[in-house]
Amino acid sequence: MKNAGKSFVLIMLIIIMALGGLLWFDFLGVIHVKNLFTPLYKAMGREAPESVASTSSHPIQGDLEQERLDKQREALELFKEELDKREEEIAAKEKLNEQIAAELSEREKSQEEREKTFNRNVKQYDDKNVNIEQIAQNLNGMRPEAAVNILLAFDDQVCIDVLRKVEEIARRDGSASMGSYWLSLMPAQRAAEIQRKMISKPESL
């Protein structure tokens, strides 16, 4: 009888230890036997304990979600930095293009102004040349004395230009020039001064 009692106690201890081991492994998430003991916990008026695996699954998922969000934010930051860098490069290129355009515009204006000045000078020369030729033609048709009086009224440069134009017309028409004769009718000092200037500055003063 005694041996039977000891055997019964040992069997109960083995059963209790087995059940405790099952509950512990379930708590650790190694095996899932919680549903088998739910009626027992309810009979005792207690809630079945959650396993470590079940309670820790949500934090792990939360960490993975947070890590994914952090990586997305990091990628967005890098993309934003790249966009900012490209925007700065584009702004710098636009500024350089504006400077080049301004320089080209300034050069174009300067060129236009030079062309206008050149055209004015050409026109003035043409107008003067036409007037000098007209005066030379008129003097050739006058009496020598009257022509000399008109020449004496001009300043030296105009007088020189008219005399040269008279020579040019004579060569063009194959006729004799009146220039030398007109100089001979002028006062000696004025004629000498005009001739000196014509020699020292053959084209113009």
* Digit-coded pLDDT (tens) for 32-80: 555 655 665 565 555 555 544 444 445 555 578 888 888 888 888 888 8
Kindly report the pTM of this predicted structure.
0.42
In this prediction, residue 191 carries a pLDDT of 92
Helical residues (DSSP H) of the chain, grouped into ranges: 2-28, 34-43, 52-140, 144-153, 156-173, 179-185, 188-200
**C-alpha span between 72 and 79 (Å, rounded):** 10
Instruction: For residues 183 and 185, give the distance between their C-alpha atoms in angstroms, rounded to a whole number.
Output: 5
Closest alpha carbon to 129 in 109, 154, 158: 158
**What would the pLDDT profile of 77-136 be if each residue is shown by its tens digit?**
888 888 889 888 898 888 888 889 888 888 888 888 877 776 676 666 667 888 899 999
Block residue for tokens 């006729």 = 175
Output Rg (C-alpha) for the chain, integer angstroms.
60
Cα separation, 149 vs 143, whole angstroms: 10
Question: Which of 19-23, 64-68, 101-105, 200-204 has the highest mean predicted lDDT (pLDDT)?
Answer: 101-105
